[in-house]
Structure 1
Amino acid sequence: MTKENICIIYGGKSAEHDISILTAQSVINAMDKEKYAVDTIYITNEGEWIKGPAITNKIEDAEVLRLMSSESVSLTEMLSQSTTGQAYDALFPLLHGPNGEDGTIQGLFEVLDLPYVGNGVLAASSSMDKLVMKQLFANRGLPQLPYVSFLRSEFEKYRTNILELIDNKLEYPVFVKPANLGSSVGISKCNDREELIKGIEEALQFDRKLVVEQGVSAREIEVAVLGNDHPETTLPGEVVKDVAFYDYKAKYKDGKVKLAIPADISEETAETLRNMAVEAFKATDCSGLVRADFFVTEDETIYINETNAMPGFTKFSMYPLLWENMNVSYSELITRLIELAKERYTEKKKIKYKMD
């Protein structure tokens, strides 16, 4: 059987660089090597692109994926020609955060007319920007918590006014979030004005645009979405925390977070969450994969928090585990995402780019 050529792209000029490497290790190890010939491209923290060798064996240590500079190859050649000398059937970007999950690299693939896994430019960029995402959700009628958003330059000029606006519009605790980062990087839970100021100063190190959101006493429930024009959803799962706030350290270093799959909620609430996940998927014109995150209060009032266009994707992450609960294995999920990428690329080829 002739193998399909797939290129895994990981690393990236992002605060989530290390997470991307772990994701790449997990995906590469789970891919069906009888079906796919697997190449790699590593993007360093400085933004250098390095083509790696074909991978045929299991990667035991993720550190081997931190490739060193080799012979110079043009970016176009790197992306268009596999180590077998054939064109890639699909590129598989496993990049989290800016310069990878935000539509920038997707735009590059579109310009070069290459098939790739995951969301397109609009979906990736709007799902990455929390403010734009909230505005699209509002247009779709999805319920959200109150929030305030501002730029670094605005805070520098109107600091007192913005702090007063937050105090008047929201109630403590509030969450301060960089608008364009994931994995809880730069996010702070703030219980008073002093903590708010510290949280804003921390978040402004990671982005020029912030969102300050009303806190709520609620469970964190997530739904995985898979597909293109006709997406499927999983039963909801719950993030069960042993800490007050599910931050980067709790997620990736302390192991103080457990996942309950499926979540212990009523069938009616589960169905509502699944329907809302599809609405959120469509609101940002998504394709491939999305994880939709919700808050569910004690009386089962639902608020959408966000969608993640490139969710955590190691075999122990919520997204793959939600599908495993639906009897879709991690390896099969990877295969389906590649098939969806080729399907979308074929569909795009039907578009006319010149008049007869």
Structure 2
Amino acid sequence: MYSEENSAAHPLCVALLFGGLSSEHEVSRVSAGTFADNMDPEKYELIKIGITKDGRWLYTEASSAQMADGSWEELPGNMPCAISPDRADHGAILFTPAGHVEKLHIDVVIPALHGLWGEDGTVQGLLELAGIPYVGCGVLASAVCMDKAVANALFAANGIPHCAWAAYTRAQLEADPDGIRAALEEKLGWPIFVKPANAGSSVGISKASNAAELADAIKLALENDRKVVFESFVDGQEVECAVIGSEPAFSTRPGEILAGAEFYTYDDKYKNGVSETLIPARLSEEKLDEVKDYAARAYTAVGCEGLARCDFFVERGTGRVLINEINTFPGFTSISMYPKLMEHEGTPLPQLIDRLVALAMERAVAHHG
């Protein structure tokens, strides 16, 4: 069993991955800076590996501020690097300016990546091949939660309530646009939320109130993915739970987002800072506990481990609790709900990071011996 005390004598070598190819590249840079600023240097030797928007992996000694503002990419000390899938390496390969190849041993990875090619099981698969422990969900849960259509199907199979929904591929939408529109109108009614199945952070999401808006919304969603999810409008409070661990999973009671725009947009989340959070959410004690219970059930149903943020609607009038989605590597910015919820439960950021690293090490032992 791994214990946090083990790292006192020998600091753990932690690789922090940030950036990435997704539309959430900028958010990832800020999240990674939060990790870097809250990790005890006596416990952890931190290696920073940035992934540019065009997919280059670079070892960097950037500060948190340089990571956040993007200037890290221009630092003279950056070196091309790659995490090796060869288990004998157990780490990264550095390509030095002198033309040499160096190996860097890594004990654990924090993949502070959001969205596609980071939070979707791809990087997790690389780390499984490499045999390197990592923070967060495994390959399957990461992939499932990134695909809203697959996640919705699993929620339904496990009795986790969700709003009415449908999903179609690009080929289906192009082959029978009128038939699909009629089917959506009958099943979901207006307005309809239109989402790319695999994008994150509200990117490419539209609210359509008629056929013309639906056509535009589909076009926008297809710019982000080849599969589109359609969901009925829910007039509800948006609440979120932080979940940590597995077997058993612990969920916080939910916090609430007071959105600045008509619905919670990417700009709201990360740029405008107009969204406010309330912890706990403005719900009855019984309803707070009901959401918390559904969060742990949903997290377990899709096989999450390590951490995830589970997002729900509580429908106005009926009080129905409806899951929206699960984020398997939630944001760790100054306005992010996950670290705020954990802090409210008595786990401030430095201890939370210790716990997440410990869970990563424990899972590696449990899975691989």
TM-score, length-scaled by structure 1 = 0.92
Counterpart in 2 of 1:24? 32
Unaligned 5+ runs, structure 1: 351-356
The Cα of 1:346 is off from its aligned counterpart by: 0.7
Structure-2 separation of matches of 1:6 and 1:82: 15
Letter in 2 for 1:31: M
Structure-1 separation of matches of 2:231 and 2:239: 18
Does residue 148 (structure 1) correspond to residue 155 (structure 2)? The answer is no
1:190 aligned residue (205, 208, 211)? 208
1:311 aligned residue (330, 347, 356)? 330
The Cα of 1:99 is off from its aligned counterpart by: 0.6
Question: Cα–Cα, structure 1 residues 61 and 90, in superposed 2: closer, same or farther, change >3 Å?
Answer: closer
Q: How many equivalent residue pairs?
A: 348
Deviations 1:55-107 (A, max 9, x none): 7x664662343356955545418971599976322101011111111001111
Matched-pair identity in %? 39
Does residue 51 (structure 1) correspond to residue 59 (structure 2)? The answer is yes
Contact 1:42 1:67 in 2 (8 A): no
The Cα of 1:195 is off from its aligned counterpart by: 1.2
Deviations 1:124-159 (A, max 9, x none): 000110011011111111111111210111111111
Counterpart in 2 of 1:224? 242
Deviations 1:184-240 (A, max 9, x none): 000011122111111111111000001010001110011110012211111210111
Q: In structure 1, the residue corresponding to 2:176 is in which secondary structure?
A: helix
Unaligned 5+ runs, structure 2: 1-8, 95-101
Structure-1 separation of matches of 2:93 and 2:332: 24
Q: In structure 1, the residue corresponding to 2:224 is in which secondary structure?
A: coil
Counterpart in 1 of 2:99? none
Counterpart in 2 of 1:302? 321
Structure-1 separation of matches of 2:180 and 2:74: 45
Structure-2 separation of matches of 1:4 and 1:97: 27
Structure-1 separation of matches of 2:82 and 2:306: 28
Superposition CA RMSD, Å:
2.0
Question: Cα–Cα, structure 1 residues 139 and 204, in superposed 2: closer, same or farther, change >3 Å?
Answer: same
Does residue 335 (structure 1) correspond to residue 347 (structure 2)? The answer is no
Does residue 242 (structure 1) correspond to residue 260 (structure 2)? The answer is yes
Deviations 1:277-336 (A, max 9, x none): 111111111101011111102232111111111111224200000011111101111111
Does residue 179 (structure 1) correspond to residue 208 (structure 2)? The answer is no
Does residue 205 (structure 1) correspond to residue 218 (structure 2)? The answer is no
Structure-2 separation of matches of 1:126 and 1:177: 16
Contact 1:5 1:82 in 2 (8 A): no
Structure-1 separation of matches of 2:90 and 2:274: 39
